[in-house]
Chains A and B, each alone.
Chain A
Amino acid sequence: MKNAEFFIDYSRCIGCEACVQACGECDTHRGVSMIHLETIARRESVQTAPQICMHCEDPICAQVCPADAIKKTPDGVVQSSLKPRCIGCSNCVMSCPFGVPKYQIDIDQMMKCDMCYDRSSVGKKPMCATVCPSGALTYTTMQDIQRTRRGIPINEWKFGGEVVHTKVYVMVPPEVERVDINLVQIANTDAALPRDPYDVALMLENA
């Protein structure tokens, strides 16, 4: 698929986990699923949200890597850490604004979504976008997404004072110019609510 881009729309996720299963089929990280699927506020809703790597233009994970192990391909895909270099420090895991990299303790290495590079580098859709039934994860052309969705795709984020541009787009209402994260919502979380050992909803959310 020529000129295809990746679009994420959290609100469309139905929590089917097809992406989680399909992700593990990718040849570049065989058997290890790199996608995150979060339950959001289990006490109030069944909302779920997938998170893939957003492939930042100037990846913070790469900037904070002491081993210089995270590289971006010329087509803008941020790869998993280079195996000979990664020293398993987890700086990338803890610094990524999107919470994407995973530290694999058994092999002492960081791995992350690489947009199924064995597929996307030859024009195929990433595994997750291939199987997502609701269009929460979509790999298509900009024209196609603008024609079929009511929101607009944007790729500019602000985390506190840090502006981040990404290769992956998120669908937002038409008047939004960038996603501004200046306050973290803490309502309905463990930290904000009194401890309840029998709160199954929170147990599920934190599982």
Chain B
Amino acid sequence: MKKDIRNIARASGSDTMHATTWGLLATAALIGGILVGSRGLRYFDPALVSYAGATLFAAFGLGYRFSMWLRRPPTRLYWFRGWEIFLQPHRFFGNLAHLFEIVWSNIVLQRFIGRRSRMRWTAHWFLAWGCLMAAAITFPLSFGWLHFETLRSSQQIYRAFLFGIPIVQFPVHSIVAELMFNALDIAAVMVLIGVFAALWRRGRDHGAMAVQQFADDLMPLILLFAISITGLFLTASTHLMQGLHYTFLSQLHAITVIITLLYLPFGKFFHIFQRPAQLGVDFYKRAGVEGEQAVCIRCGSMYGSRMHMDDLKRVQAALNINYQLANDTHYQDVCPPCRRKNLALIQDNMWKSTASES
């Protein structure tokens, strides 16, 4: 990570070529993972091949978009700075402890969303954990990483295999079995709670109604609703309707999942992969507070870290933003309140000079 940070904000080469390469690498890594994890496709379930295929496309899209995102000068600089600070030997163990703290607070409990509103937190927490739980089951199943078998000696005992290795066994009629076999139903109910809470909020909050967009804000909810409800239909068909229309329902469910997987890299769901960058920013801010502070050239007050202001100058240079002022000063070295005061003073001076001339 010891790259020259002065030039790191400016990426070289073709954006599309880099992004395509990373997209293909992500796809190749997943294909390799499927081949190895399913023991040469021995445990790969052909019935789930459409799910695996759509996931491969999603992997390409995610690799492509993530790489494209990292090509932007501010993202690129934060990415390298974040890792550089995190891996500094004298900070590493403290950073590791802090990482657990912020993962627990920001990702597991999502406290920062709770401070925005209780309804928003309810919607997001159930959606997030419902989806993550479903993904943790569906992806390993469709990749052939996870499968179940009954014992040869007893049809009453089930064994779960991860990467072909037996990890746990349990009686078919037990609480563990009920939880395992219905985990996707539990996840679907969690997602539905989140979807209804989100729709309730979006239907009543005038602020949200003014800025929400169909493709970004409502489409993901519709997709998650479709996946969850068609998934629950499968359970209802099996247990309540003697398998009525099961084939049709399973195909319908597969279509909803595949559409969502194809949408994953390009829509709102991309924030699942983008958002962890918040953790890197936290380390950056902590290092900034400990280091030298920037002092405003106008009022003399401290208004941020020196590292942040210097990095911003680099990002601005990479973006061709020229804030260089006369007298060898830089507009970035003026604090935001002084920028606002200065605007009023300049307008004031314009009127004064007009008055003195007339």
Contacts and interface: CB of A to CB of B under 8 A. Distances in A.
Interface residues of B, number: 68
B250 interface: no
A160 B299 contact: no
B277 A99 contact: no
A98 to B, nearest CB: 7
A186 B335 CA distance: 12
A63 B321 contact: yes
B343 interface: yes
A84 B354 contact: no
A104 B312 CA distance: 20
B278 A87 contact: yes
A121 B299 contact: no
B61 interface: no
Contact of A63 (B285, B319, B336): B319
Interface string B228-257: 000000000000000000000000000000
| Chain B facing A: main interface SS | helix
Contacts of B275: 84-85, 87
Contacts, number: 203
B281 A191 contact: no
A173 B354 contact: yes
Interface in A77-93: 79, 83-85, 87-91, 93
* Interface SS of A by simple majority: loop
Nearest to A180: B346
B324 to A, nearest CB: 5
Given A66-B72, A94-B312, A118-B210, A51 B299 contact: no
Interface residues of A, number: 70
A121 B336 contact: no
A28 B211 contact: yes
Contact of B207 (A27, A66, A91, A189): A27
B136 interface: no
Given A93-B336, A107-B116, A176 B326 contact: no
B78 interface: yes
Contact of B316 (A95, A186, A190): A95
Given A94-B308, A182-B326, A88 B281 contact: yes
A184 B331 CA distance: 8
A151 B351 CA distance: 9
14 contacts: A41-B341, A64-B319, A66-B78, A87-B278, A89-B284, A90-B304, A98-B339, A99-B336, A106-B115, A109-B112, A182-B326, A183-B327, A184-B334, A190-B301
